A and B are shown apart, each in its own frame.
Chain A
Amino acid sequence: MGLSDFRVPNQMLVRNSLSSLQTSFARLADLQDQAASGKKLRKPSDAPADIVPAMRLHSGLNRNDQYQRNIEDANGWLGAADNALSNTVDQLHRVRDLVVAARNASSDTAARQAFASEIDSLRDSIIGIANSQYAGRPIFGGTSSGAVAYDSTGNYVGFSAPIERTIAPGQRVQVNVNGEEVFGTTGADIFTTLAQVSAAIQSNPSGLDALAATLETQINTVEVSQGTVGSRFKRVDDMKSQNTADSLTMRTSLTGIEDIDLAEIMVSLNAQQVAYEAALTATAKAITPSLVDFLR
């Protein structure tokens, strides 16, 4: 073929110029789209290797936000329980002091009457505390739908069952303590004991020793519950900061995968614009002349 190897027919010149202009323009359009959307991962085929981590991070973040809501809720339940239990313990310590005082006191009826009525009012107050609510639900009432865990006479009316919250993948924490676990099972609960103590102070001081021992065990149970709630509270609190840290890490990774580096894109965009304009100029110069222009 010899010389014909170097032939550049006009149609070919036009087609090639057109195709390189289109390629250049497509690149420019893509960069403009990236700059406008702020994302470099706009569809799965943009970076198939990145799409899994991106989707995982998206759903992970979503899920983490949900865990955060669960944690807030768990915090509320446990905070209310912690508060109620420490008030209860304070009141029970006062009861313990009163019982000791009553055992050592004179047989003066009026004085005993005073001890008994203070214990009665402490009992009412502890029943009030045992009916503490969080978000409209009695915190010691289990899964009961009623408004109280104990009725006014100190009978348990709740439904003992654990209430749990998921605070991290696969991690559940019980956010309630059942009244029966804290205050004792119906019939052998602290309210019965307190009523008996009140009655014994007035009419049967010799029975106080046995009752004091029972009371001591029951106070101990409440304190143990307080400890349990405290440690769960701590666990939830730790998880809360862990959750926040996780979200931050995930958001950072997601930004790295999905978002553009604005400075880099702007530089590329400018470079591509210059390249496109250069291609336009070159095409305009190359297509115009042929020998026709120079023959007379």
Chain B
Amino acid sequence: VSDFAGLRLALTALDAQRRGVEVSAQNVANANTEGYSRQRVDLESIGSPAVPAFWSRFEGHGGGVKVADVERFRDAFMEIRAALEHGSMASLSQNATSMQALERLFNEPTDLGVAKQLSDFWGAWDDVANHPEDAAARNQLLQRAETLARTINAISSQMTQLQADTTAELRGTVVEINALSSQIADLNRTIKANTIAGIPVNELLDKRDLLANRLAEVSGGTVRSFEYNQANVVLNGTALVSSNNSYSLEVDTSGPSVAIRWADTSAIASVTSGKAGGQLTAINTTIPAYRSRLDSVVTTLRDDLNPLHGGITGSIASAAQNQATSGNLQFQMALNGGSNATVTVAGADWSGAGGAAALQTALQNAINTAIGAGNATVAVAGGNGSEMTVSITPTGTNALTVQASGTNAGFGLFMSTTAVGADGVGGRAFFTGTDAASFALAAHMIGNPNAVAAGVANGGPLDSSRALDIAELAQTEDGSDALYRQLIVQLGVDTSTAVSRDQIQSKATKALDDARAQYSGVSLDEEMTNLVMYQHAYDAAARFLSAVDEMLDTLINRTAV
């Protein structure tokens, strides 16, 4: 054993303890660095030779200490779980945000909401029914109808805006995904090279893992470890990052629904989780679902109201079916806002068997003569001892209006149940539009209170029986009001579910983050304790060095002088 072995041993101790202090210092310096994992020196004693030379004996002691490794505290399994949980939290939180934004659009339950305006609208019909002679009541009705239509239009356009905004956010998310993927691929390259060269990579790994977790969070992908400390990120089976290669995504808005595609193959990327997944769901599923519910509210309103207000119908009692002595029966009809043409039917006895068919032919021919063939279809049913019903349906997008021809009884006879305005004209639709965006008060109603049809053709000048019928639509069990209430309930249920799922997931994610922090996070108390520990060990090693020095001094200078 060499006389100087003690010196070398002391040196290894000084080195090792200093490394310990340095690692503690690194930990303390990074106590608040996001994604940093604490490190610890793994000390290992240098023992006797493992395989002594043949026939030789080893009488020495250990050779000191060495730093085997600087270990990075990170639990790979926990990291994978955390990435998954963060991905699903991002998706749920996006979902909650979209639902809350939708909920705000509807403004319920307040006086600004559609429910209140529907209710006001129906009330206005009652006011018209109470005072059909009062132009103010009719004007108020038209104003409320316009307010209702505009409120629904506004909600629809805000939904479109929300969808467009979310699509813009999705583009941002995809840009972030692409940037993260290529950064991770670059880091993988460096990490692999350094690992092969034996250069410490702990800090690079921390940085890479931070980016990989963020990528998992935004894209919903899974992180998998790969050879030479590399990490791959996989999106439902397809690689987003594979070793030092990254594959970018792009947003495709050309189709009916928005899609995320792989930039190189144009194949659809299956993004179902993460922030991007949440945004896709909002754009393609959540918002369209509510839009179609709102659409069905307005089409129901339109389809319930328009036949009552603008349908051209009549009913002829048995007693009135013999018109053989009435001469010509006439009424006026106008096609698509054109001028009135007189429809003339020669009175006949339609009371017997085949009377309905005969009247149908006679009316159809007369109408064809007046406004041209193919513009309207007449249907007559019943008769022969029971009531006869007449209905005239304009063809396609045609609009027909009808009114009496002077004092001739034809209008009151054939079109007895047609609703007519204060100007005597019937057949005008009240609302137009096919969805919430195009829903509007019909053009011929705007600013024309006399067009509000409160009564029916044979009900007398101030009849308001039709207005009463319309006002009662408010109570229909499957009417627009009921549909709208169902929409709002669904909105409430969906929003509160989305919010509570988000909260639950964020608790679960937080618990996992705590577990990771417990394992990987820097505790200042612990580092201070380590610092004191290494410092004392350093002091002791230094003390040992001077003891060996004194021993050598004794041996060299005091012996045999």
Interface residues of A (CB under 8 A from B): 1, 4-5, 7-12, 15-16, 19, 41, 43-48, 51-52, 54-56, 58-59, 62-63, 65-66, 69-70, 73, 135-137, 142-145, 159-166, 169-170, 172, 258, 290-292, 295
Chain B 126-148 against A: per-residue CB contact (8 Å), 1 yes, 0 no? 11011101000000000000000
Inter-chain contact B133/A8, CB cutoff 8 Å:
no
Some 20 contacts from A to B, beta carbons below 8 A apart, are: A4-B518, A10-B31, A11-B517, A15-B517, A43-B495, A45-B99, A45-B100, A45-B492, A45-B495, A45-B499, A52-B489, A59-B118, A70-B129, A137-B133, A142-B460, A145-B461, A165-B468, A169-B472, A169-B475, A290-B528
- Alpha-carbon separation in the docked complex, A55 to B106 (Å): 13
Query: What's the nearest-Cβ distance from chain A to residue B549, in Å?
Result: 29
Inter-chain contact B462/A137, CB cutoff 8 Å:
yes
- Alpha-carbon separation in the docked complex, A8 to B522 (Å): 9
Neighbouring B residues of A160 by C-beta, 8 Å: 460
Q: Contact partner of B119 among A58, A144, A159, CB < 8 A?
A: A58
- Alpha-carbon separation in the docked complex, A145 to B461 (Å): 6
Query: What's the nearest-Cβ distance from chain A to residue B462, in Å?
Result: 5
CB interface residues, B 80-123, toward A, < 8 Å: 99-100, 103-104, 106, 108-109, 115-116, 118-120, 122-123
Inter-chain contact B108/A44, CB cutoff 8 Å:
yes
Task: Say yes or no: is B76 at the interface (Cβ < 8 Å to chain A).
Answer: no
Neighbouring B residues of A144 by C-beta, 8 Å: 460-462
Query: What's the nearest-Cβ distance from chain A to residue B550, in Å?
Result: 30
- Alpha-carbon separation in the docked complex, A52 to B485 (Å): 7
Inter-chain contact B119/A59, CB cutoff 8 Å:
yes
Task: Say yes or no: is B259 at the interface (Cβ < 8 Å to chain A).
Answer: no
A59-B118, A161-B459 given; A9·B521 CB < 8 A: yes
- Alpha-carbon separation in the docked complex, A258 to B108 (Å): 12
Find the A residue at minimum CB distance from B131.
A135
Inter-chain contact B122/A63, CB cutoff 8 Å:
yes
- Alpha-carbon separation in the docked complex, A75 to B393 (Å): 40
- Alpha-carbon separation in the docked complex, A58 to B115 (Å): 9
- Alpha-carbon separation in the docked complex, A160 to B485 (Å): 41
Neighbouring A residues of B495 by C-beta, 8 Å: 43-45, 48
Query: What's the nearest-Cβ distance from chain A to residue B455, in Å?
Result: 7
Neighbouring A residues of B461 by C-beta, 8 Å: 143-145, 159
- Alpha-carbon separation in the docked complex, A10 to B28 (Å): 10
Neighbouring A residues of B526 by C-beta, 8 Å: 7
Inter-chain contact B514/A51, CB cutoff 8 Å:
no
Taking A63-B119, A69-B127, A170-B472 as known contacts, 11 extra A-B pairs with beta carbons closer than 8 A to each other, sorted by chain A number, are A41-B109, A43-B492, A44-B488, A55-B108, A55-B109, A58-B115, A58-B116, A70-B130, A169-B472, A258-B109, A290-B528
Inter-chain contact B492/A11, CB cutoff 8 Å:
no
Query: What's the nearest-Cβ distance from chain A to residue B311, in Å?
Result: 20
Inter-chain contact A292/B492, CB cutoff 8 Å:
no
CB interface residues, B 442-484, toward A, < 8 Å: 455, 459-465, 468, 471-472, 474-475, 481
- Alpha-carbon separation in the docked complex, A258 to B465 (Å): 37
Neighbouring B residues of A1 by C-beta, 8 Å: 519
Q: Contact partner of A59 among B31, B106, B115, CB < 8 A?
A: B115
Neighbouring B residues of A295 by C-beta, 8 Å: 528, 532
Chain B 473-513 against A: per-residue CB contact (8 Å), 1 yes, 0 no? 01100000100010011011101100100000000001001
Neighbouring A residues of B519 by C-beta, 8 Å: 1, 4, 7
Neighbouring B residues of A136 by C-beta, 8 Å: 133
- Alpha-carbon separation in the docked complex, A137 to B131 (Å): 10
Neighbouring A residues of B104 by C-beta, 8 Å: 43
Inter-chain contact A10/B130, CB cutoff 8 Å:
no
Inter-chain contact A143/B460, CB cutoff 8 Å:
yes
Neighbouring B residues of A165 by C-beta, 8 Å: 129-130, 468
Neighbouring A residues of B120 by C-beta, 8 Å: 62
- Alpha-carbon separation in the docked complex, A159 to B120 (Å): 31
Find the B residue at minimum CB distance from A54.
B109
Q: How many A-B residue pairs have CB under 8 A?
A: 169
Find the A residue at minimum CB distance from B38.
A9
Q: Specify the main secondary structure of chain B where it touches its partner.
A: helix
Neighbouring A residues of B133 by C-beta, 8 Å: 136-137, 145
Neighbouring A residues of B514 by C-beta, 8 Å: 12, 16
The 8 A-B residue pairs with the shortest CB-CB distance, nearest first, are A9-B521, A44-B492, A143-B460, A159-B460, A48-B492, A45-B495, A145-B461, A12-B517
Neighbouring B residues of A48 by C-beta, 8 Å: 489, 492-493, 495-496
Task: Say yes or no: is B32 at the interface (Cβ < 8 Å to chain A).
Answer: yes
A44-B108, A45-B103 given; A11·B31 CB < 8 A: yes
Task: Say yes or no: is B525 at the interface (Cβ < 8 Å to chain A).
Answer: yes
Query: What's the nearest-Cβ distance from chain B to residue A284, in Å?
Result: 17
Inter-chain contact B481/A59, CB cutoff 8 Å:
yes
Task: Say yes or no: is B529 at the interface (Cβ < 8 Å to chain A).
Answer: yes
- Alpha-carbon separation in the docked complex, A192 to B376 (Å): 49
Q: Contact partner of A51 among B492, B521, B529, CB < 8 A?
A: B492
Inter-chain contact B465/A164, CB cutoff 8 Å:
yes
Inter-chain contact A163/B485, CB cutoff 8 Å:
no
- Alpha-carbon separation in the docked complex, A83 to B493 (Å): 56
Neighbouring B residues of A65 by C-beta, 8 Å: 123
Q: Contact partner of A292 among B99, B475, B528, CB < 8 A?
A: B528
Neighbouring A residues of B472 by C-beta, 8 Å: 166, 169-170
- Alpha-carbon separation in the docked complex, A48 to B109 (Å): 12
- Alpha-carbon separation in the docked complex, A68 to B119 (Å): 15
Task: Say yes or no: is B523 at the interface (Cβ < 8 Å to chain A).
Answer: yes
- Alpha-carbon separation in the docked complex, A7 to B495 (Å): 38
Task: Say yes or no: is B263 at the interface (Cβ < 8 Å to chain A).
Answer: no
- Alpha-carbon separation in the docked complex, A169 to B476 (Å): 10
- Alpha-carbon separation in the docked complex, A278 to B539 (Å): 45
Neighbouring B residues of A166 by C-beta, 8 Å: 126, 129, 468, 471-472
Inter-chain contact B130/A43, CB cutoff 8 Å:
no
Inter-chain contact A44/B489, CB cutoff 8 Å:
yes
CB interface residues, B 34-54, toward A, < 8 Å: 38
Chain B 403-435 against A: per-residue CB contact (8 Å), 1 yes, 0 no? 000000000000000000000000000000000
Query: What's the nearest-Cβ distance from chain A to residue B154, in Å?
Result: 18
Query: What's the nearest-Cβ distance from chain B to residue A175, in Å?
Result: 10
- Alpha-carbon separation in the docked complex, A78 to B131 (Å): 15
Find the B residue at minimum CB distance from A39.
B109
A44-B492, A137-B133 given; A9·B518 CB < 8 A: yes
Find the A residue at minimum CB distance from B517.
A12
Inter-chain contact A51/B108, CB cutoff 8 Å:
yes
A58-B109, A142-B460 given; A292·B524 CB < 8 A: yes
Find the A residue at minimum CB distance from B465.
A164
Inter-chain contact B462/A11, CB cutoff 8 Å:
no
Inter-chain contact B455/A143, CB cutoff 8 Å:
yes
Neighbouring A residues of B103 by C-beta, 8 Å: 43-45
Neighbouring B residues of A137 by C-beta, 8 Å: 133, 462
Query: What's the nearest-Cβ distance from chain A to residue B98, in Å?
Result: 13
Chain B 64-78 against A: per-residue CB contact (8 Å), 1 yes, 0 no? 000000000000000
